Amino acid sequence: MNIFIAIFMLGLIIFIHELGHFLLAKKNGITVTEFSLGMGPRLASFEKNGTRYSLKLLPIGGSCMMLGEDEDIEDEGAFHKKGVGARFSVLFAGAFFNFVLAFVLAVVIIGVVGVDYPHVLKVEEDSAVYKAGLREGDRIKKIDGRRIHFGKEIDAYLFFNPISDEPIKISYERDGKSYTTSITPEQLPAYYKLGIRYGGNAENAVLAGIESGFPFDEAGLVAGDIITSINGSQIITGQDMVDYFADNPISGEVIDITYRRSGEKSDRSASISPRLVENDYSLGLSYNVYREKVSPIKTIKNSFFEVRYNILNTIDSIRYLVSGKAGLKDISGPVGIVTFVDDIVDQTRSDGIGYVLLNLANFAVLLSANLGVMNLLPIPALDGGRLVFIIIEAIRGKPIAKEKEALVHLVGFALLMLLMAVVLFNDIQRLL
């Protein structure tokens, strides 16, 4: 069932993308030879007004094939016969429709559960932020010039821009007035870290989050795993784990744990070696990540911000990858998406079907925005790569020879297929 859900989600996102190309092509008088959902052999098809509509075997893609897209054809309905503006709009429409889908889903999610406004919940006395003037109840508006609308945006910004000894400029609002201050983070004493998040209110000791590159992640544990014992001590609830680490502070000693993965009946075991962190910094504040209901107008407004957040997150992730801070092993493809969907369903099913659907919709917002951004990258064979050729044509006043453009896209497509193979290998390796 979870595989079916993942396939349906991907199919819907891809269908909306291709629908954007299709509708703008039709609007501009371009002949669409085939509009298909899926790849591979046709399962069913019919033809209407010169366009074949097809459902294909493999639910991992889709296409909107247009006449004269990659070759010179003397036909008024050919893609290359249309003006620069018309062709640009057709290629851009796929990503734009993905952003529209993300917006619609965001409206539903925010309308039901609300918004996590970035209010300061607690400020430690004598901390860096306390000395800079921030107090409980202040609303953070900007960090180093980046607009902040949600609490989770602070998490994302600090992940991609880790705190160091460099000053951070924070703008905040208090009683309707805006203030800006500069904060110099304070270095923490060296400590040992496991790289996990869990809550004391949970019925079981479930891992709410795993930090990449830290001991629990390196030991193969994932979010959703349930800790059942630590160094021989039985762990039943989240509070049991809180109490254990309160009585046994983390040191350099190896920790032996047992844990249970969703859907499995027997426990697994692992030995965890805590990591010594010597150069870590703190701001000394906690901020809101819990949602509150808002009016319909604010729902619409914040839905735009939600799409913006996911677009910027995708761009920051690409920069993170290009800079070498992440590797190919950190990229997931369709198989990885199925695994994420499986985790979402398993971790939220106890809260009811409505909560499961909301979390799946939230994941679909991320996927749809991600697909939109990725397709606009100036990479040959992608929409963004084709847009580059149209922009060059607009600047120089004439198109680049079709055979040269086709060769560039062919090479780009081959490299993309190679990347897909690597990503698929990574996904399968994670499963194993």
Active-site residue numbers?
18
* Residues contacting 62, CB < 8 A, separation 6+: 11, 14, 15, 17, 18, 36, 37, 38, 39
Q: Which tokens is 144 given?
A: 């180093």
Q: Distance of CA 252 to CAs 12, 190, 192, 273, 314, Å?
A: 48, 12, 7, 7, 36
Give yes or no for a contact between 413 and 380, defined as CB atoms under 8 angstroms apart: yes
